[in-house]
């Protein structure tokens, strides 16, 4: 994975100076042996806060990262669920850095909601209500931020509430995440592999009486080793495939097929 220059361990406020129009402030968990900073070594640049007195902070258990993800809003909470269930990213971090820049004589700061990486492809994500994303202010601000981040090697994406909460994907993601604690034994994984060697696609009910069982199959979906159509309600009649199926909509990897290195649409 592409790294960034690494600040001293645990130091907040170490600014990465580059010949660009902006600077990044990072906070590292620890220094990488190579001297570069990986996304999974980043910490939030500020502690989680509630965006209103009525908003309760939420957490999502991320078994792949071995920790909880702190959300500051219901939109973030649901976004994290979709990202963990469907994204199959190499690493991601909430509020990973602070971007500082000058525009029209004023100093500005921007902290993104998420930084997601698939190999060398790294996307900065801003989670917004649809009306906020489409406001005149942000319609002017976001293209500038996109250009500034591109100078640091990042892509930029605004992820709207309507996209995050689109059904049935959101419900499917919440359901699949129930199986994140299921341990799939090597024997069960091999039995499932052999079953799919006979057919690329099978209905989920095939595994009701299977030695491995439905739970193991759905855990392998969460691992990205098997696939469902996220845009069809999940049931025993759902198709399970050993290749991606259905509409491939972000946060799928830049390519629906891992072997292909085609860039994603921005």
**Which parts of the chain are beta strand (E)?**
4-5, 14-16, 22-26, 36-37, 58-62, 67-71, 91-94, 97-103, 106-110, 114-118, 121-128, 155-160, 201-203, 239-241
Q: Find how far residue 134's CA is from the centre of its chain.
A: 22
Task: Give the tens place of pLDDT for each residue, 111-148.
Answer: 999 999 998 899 999 999 999 999 999 999 999 999 99
The pTM assigned to this predicted structure is 0.83
Residue 251: its H or E element: none
Of 41-45, 66-70, 107-111, 113-117, the poorest mean pLDDT is in: 41-45
Buried/exposed code over 83-113 (b: 16+ C-beta within 10 A; e: otherwise): bbbbbbbbbbbbbbbbbebeeeeeeeebebb
Res. 10: pLDDT tops 70? no
Sign of CA dihedral 189, 191, 192, 198: positive
Task: Give the tens place of pLDDT for each residue, 215-228.
Answer: 999 999 999 999 99
Task: Give the tens place of pLDDT for each residue, 164-193.
Answer: 999 999 999 999 999 999 999 999 999 999
CA distance 242 to 196: 7
Give mean pLDDT, residues 75-100: 94
Task: Give the CA-trace dihedral at 72, 75, 80, 85, to 10 degrees.
Answer: 160
Give CA angle at 149 (146, 155), nearest 5°: 70
Evaluate whether 76 touches 113 at the Cβ level (below 8 Å). Answer: yes
Give, in order, the Cα–Cα distances in Å from 95 to each of 3, 25, 147: 17, 11, 19
CA distance 87 to 81: 10
Give mean pLDDT, residues 14-27: 69
- Here the tokens at position 130 are 């649809």
């Amino acid at each position: 994975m592409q790294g960034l220059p690494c600040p001293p361990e645990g130091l907040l406020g170490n600014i990465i100076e580059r010949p660009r129009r902006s600077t990044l402030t990072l906070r590292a968990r620890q220094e990488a042996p190579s001297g570069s900073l990986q996304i999974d070594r980043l910490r939030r640049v500020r502690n989680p806060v509630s965006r209103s007195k009525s908003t309760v902070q939420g957490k999502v258990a991320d078994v792949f990262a071995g920790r909880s993800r702190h959300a500051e809003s219901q939109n973030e909470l649901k976004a994290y669920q979709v990202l963990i269930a469907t994204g199959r990213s190499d690493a991601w971090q909430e509020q990973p850095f602070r971007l500082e820049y000058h525009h029209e004589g004023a100093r500005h700061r921007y902290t993104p909601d998420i930084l997601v990486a698939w190999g060398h492809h790294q996307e900065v994500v801003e989670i917004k209500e649809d009306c906020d994303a489409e406001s005149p202010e942000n319609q002017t601000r976001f293209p500038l931020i996109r250009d500034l981040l591109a100078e640091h090697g990042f892509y930029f994406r605004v992820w709207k509430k309507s996209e995050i909460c689109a059904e049935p994907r959101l419900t499917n993601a919440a359901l699949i995440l129930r199986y994140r604690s299921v341990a799939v034994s090597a024997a069960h994984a091999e039995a499932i592999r052999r079953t799919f060697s006979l057919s690329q696609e099978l209905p989920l009910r095939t595994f009701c009486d299977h030695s491995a069982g439905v739970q193991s199959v759905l855990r392998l979906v969460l691992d990205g080793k098997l696939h469902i159509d996220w845009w069809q309600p999940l049931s025993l009649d759902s198709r399970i495939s050993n290749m991606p199926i259905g509409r491939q909509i972000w946060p799928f990897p830049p390519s629906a097929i891992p072997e292909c290195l085609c860039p994603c649409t921005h």
